[in-house]
Chain A
Amino acid sequence: MSTTRNLNAAIGLLLNLTAAAGKASALIGTARAEGRDVTAEELAGLQAADDAARGDLVAAIEAAKAGS
């Protein structure tokens, strides 16, 4: 495996972290602008996104197993 591929993967993770932090930050910023805390419903939305990401990872694992 080349250093380039490792670097690509690291950059990919950094982009994912940035995007995820951006979404959380947007929620927090909106709540503050409205003079309130992040609501349970908004946190539930983040949980749903995490559940979806988990589903994607499980699917990728199953697909990799089937393909190997």
Chain B
Amino acid sequence: MTPDELKTLLSTPLALFVVMLLGSLGSALKQVKGTDTSLGSYFAHWPETLSALIANVLAFGMLVVTDSLNFASALGIGYVANSAADLIRAGGRSDIVGRTTRQAGFARPILLAILLVTAVIAMPVLQGCTALGLQAPKTFADDYAYALSQTTALRTAAAQALNTRQISVADAQYVLALTDQSRSLLDTSRQVYEAGESLKGQSQLELATNILTRLQAYLNARQVQ
């Protein structure tokens, strides 16, 4: 099999759905690691496991409908779907894992997880949903405008959350750092695009919008501190 054939195979919807499930599995392994809970007993908490599966299916459908299905989005949202499943009830799977891995600061990572899941899921929906009266992006400038507005919205939401003590100073500083990184990439992508390197510019822009996925890795690291 040539690299191109492998790339084609991995970009099929079925393969990307498997990638989503692998993302969820990665989240599960991360949560189980360092605890006395086995992977089997972790998944035996069927309400969370079922929720994660349903979330994966729904998110997969949403990504297809909004033309946002790619390797990064599949992996990132698959990971988030499993983490978010812990939120459905108290005393379930999260309680078992939490006894050995999560400490007093657990609430803030969960809050940020909710914020980021909302951001990751809501923005493609908003961008693709003409039913809300929003213009679908067609040009690089349109994509840039929407991505920049997403960065602005995250900064504003973080400031509001910090002012109401819903997140810590450290959390806000991290959001600031990543939104700065996102903005820098966006501006670079625009310069590159306007210099005539359209593919490279689009790639930079996609990199900027994928920074949110990196924030999820940060949250997961916070959970085991």
Contact = CB atoms under 8 A, between A and B. Distances in A.
Given A10-B114, A17-B126, A24-B146, A65 B169 contact: yes
Interface in A34-52: 37-38, 42-43, 46-47, 49-50
Interface stretch (B4-12, B15-23, B171-179): B171-179
Nearest to B187: A47
- Most B-side CB within 10 Å, residue of A3, A12, A21, A22: A21
Q: Is the interface of A mostly helix, strand, loop or mixed?
A: helix
Interface string B87-117: 1000000000000000000011011001100
A46 B157 CA distance: 17
B155 interface: yes
B175 to A, nearest CB: 7
Q: How many of chain A's residues touch chain B, expressed as a range?
A: 35 or more
Given A13-B157, A61-B176, A24 B111 contact: no
A8 B175 CA distance: 18
Interface of A: 1, 3, 5-10, 12-14, 16-25, 27-29, 32, 37-38, 42-43, 46-47, 49-50, 53-54, 56-61, 63-65, 68
25 contacts: A1-B107, A1-B166, A6-B107, A6-B114, A7-B114, A9-B166, A13-B157, A14-B118, A14-B122, A17-B150, A18-B122, A18-B126, A20-B149, A20-B150, A21-B127, A27-B145, A38-B141, A42-B145, A49-B152, A53-B152, A53-B155, A56-B159, A57-B158, A57-B175, A61-B172
